[in-house]
Amino acid sequence: MKLIFVSGGVISGLGKGITASSIGRLLESRGLKVSAIKIDPYLNIDAGTMNPFEHGEVYVLDDGGEVDLDLGNYERFMDLHLTRDHNITTGKVYRSVIENERHGDYLGKTVQIIPHITNEIKRRITTVARDSGADVVIIELGGTVGDMESLPFLEAARQLGRELGREENVMFVHTTLIPIMGSVGEEKTKPTQHSVKELMSIGIRPDVIVGRCSEPISDAARAKIAMFCDVPEQAVISTPDARSIYEVPLNLEKQGVADYIIDKMKLGPMTTKRDMARWEGFVDRVVNPKREVRIALVGKYTSLADSYLSHLEAFTHAGAAAECKVRIKFIDSDELVAHDPSSLLGDVDGVLVPGGFGIRGVEGKIEAARYARENGIPFLGVCLGFQIATIEFCRHVLGLGKASSTEFDPDTPDPIICIMNEQKGIVNMGATMRLGAQDVVLREGSKACELYGGRTLISERHRHRYEVNPDYIERMEAAGWRFTGRSECGTRMEIGELEGHPYFVASQFHPEFKSKPECASPLHQGLVNAAIRYSGSK
CB of 305 to ligand GLN, least distance (A): 18
Phi, psi of 343 (to 5 degrees): -70, -25
Helices (H) and strands (E) in the chain, counts: 19, 23
Contact 42, 417 (CB under 8 A): no
Q: List beta partners, residue 60.
A: 66
Q: Among the options 140, 187, 512, 524, which is catalytic?
A: 512
Give the per-residue contact string, 225-244, with ligand GLN (x = CB under 6 A; - = no): --------------------
Binding segment toward ligand GLN, per CB under 6 A, in 41-49, 329-337, 462-470, 482-490: 462-470
- Look at residue 351 and give its three-state secondary structure: strand
Instruction: Return the DSSP state at 356.
Output: -
Residue 66 near ligand GLN by CB under 6 A: no
- For ligand GLN, the closer of residues 204 and 493 by Cβ is 493
Among 466, 472, 481, 483, binds ligand GLN (CB under 6 A): 466
Q: Which positions ≥6 away from 444 have C-beta within 8 Å?
A: 456
d(CA 509, CA 317): 19
CB of 384 to ligand GLN, least distance (A): 3
Binding segment toward ligand GLN, per CB under 6 A, in 5-13, 232-240, 464-472, 517-525: 464-472
- For ligand GLN, the closer of residues 71 and 221 by Cβ is 71
Q: Which helix (H) or strand (E) holds 358?
A: none
Q: Decide if 460 is catalytic.
A: no
- For ligand GLN, the closer of residues 90 and 507 by Cβ is 507
d(CA 59, CA 175): 24
CB of 435 to ligand GLN, least distance (A): 10
Cα distance from N-terminal residue to C-terminal residue, the chain: 58
Report 89-118 residues binding ligand GLN (CB under 6 A): none
Among 357, 397, 470, 480, binds ligand GLN (CB under 6 A): 357
Among 224, 395, 447, 464, binds ligand GLN (CB under 6 A): 464
Distances (CA, A) of 243 to 176, 178, 247, 287, 398: 20, 19, 7, 7, 47
Contact 497, 416 (CB under 8 A): no
- For ligand GLN, the closer of residues 466 and 503 by Cβ is 466
Contact 71, 88 (CB under 8 A): no
Burial of 399 (0-12, 13-18, 19+ CB in 10 A): exposed
The site that binds ligand GLN (CB under 6 A) totals a number of residues, namely: 10
Give the per-residue contact string, 495-524, with ligand GLN (x = CB under 6 A; - = no): ------------------------------
Q: Among the options 174, 311, 510, 524, which is catalytic?
A: 510
Binding segment toward ligand GLN, per CB under 6 A, in 79-87, 98-106, 354-362, 492-500: 354-362
Contact 527, 378 (CB under 8 A): yes
Q: List beta partners, residue 3.
A: 137, 170
Residue 365 near ligand GLN by CB under 6 A: no
Report 366-385 residues binding ligand GLN (CB under 6 A): 383-384
Residue 64 near ligand GLN by CB under 6 A: no
Q: Among the options 229, 383, 394, 449, which is catalytic?
A: 383
d(CA 532, CA 470): 35
CB of 273 to ligand GLN, least distance (A): 42
Q: Decide if 510 is catalytic.
A: yes
Residue 356 near ligand GLN by CB under 6 A: yes
Phi, psi of 365 (to 5 degrees): -70, -35
CB of 261 to ligand GLN, least distance (A): 38
Q: Which positions ≥6 away from 136 have C-beta within 8 Å?
A: 2, 3, 4, 27, 32, 33, 34, 35, 265, 267
Residue 463 near ligand GLN by CB under 6 A: yes
Q: Which helix (H) or strand (E) holds 460?
A: strand 457-464
Report 402-441 residues binding ligand GLN (CB under 6 A): 407
CB of 503 to ligand GLN, least distance (A): 20
Binding segment toward ligand GLN, per CB under 6 A, in 180-188, 227-235, 287-295, 463-471: 463-471
Closest C-alpha among 424, 445, 516, 533 to residue 80: 516
Which residue type is seen at 15?
Answer: G
Tell me how many degrees the CA angle 159-127-97 measures, rounded to the nearest 5: 70
- For ligand GLN, the closer of residues 16 and 464 by Cβ is 464
CB of 388 to ligand GLN, least distance (A): 9
Phi, psi of 299 (to 5 degrees): -150, -170
Ramachandran sector of residue 252 (left: φ over 0; alpha: ψ -120 to 50; beta: rest): alpha
Give the per-residue contact string, 302-341, with ligand GLN (x = CB under 6 A; - = no): ----------------------------------------
Q: Residues with catalytic annotation?
A: 383, 510, 512
Binding residues (CB under 6 A) for ligand GLN: these are 355-357, 383-384, 407, 463-466
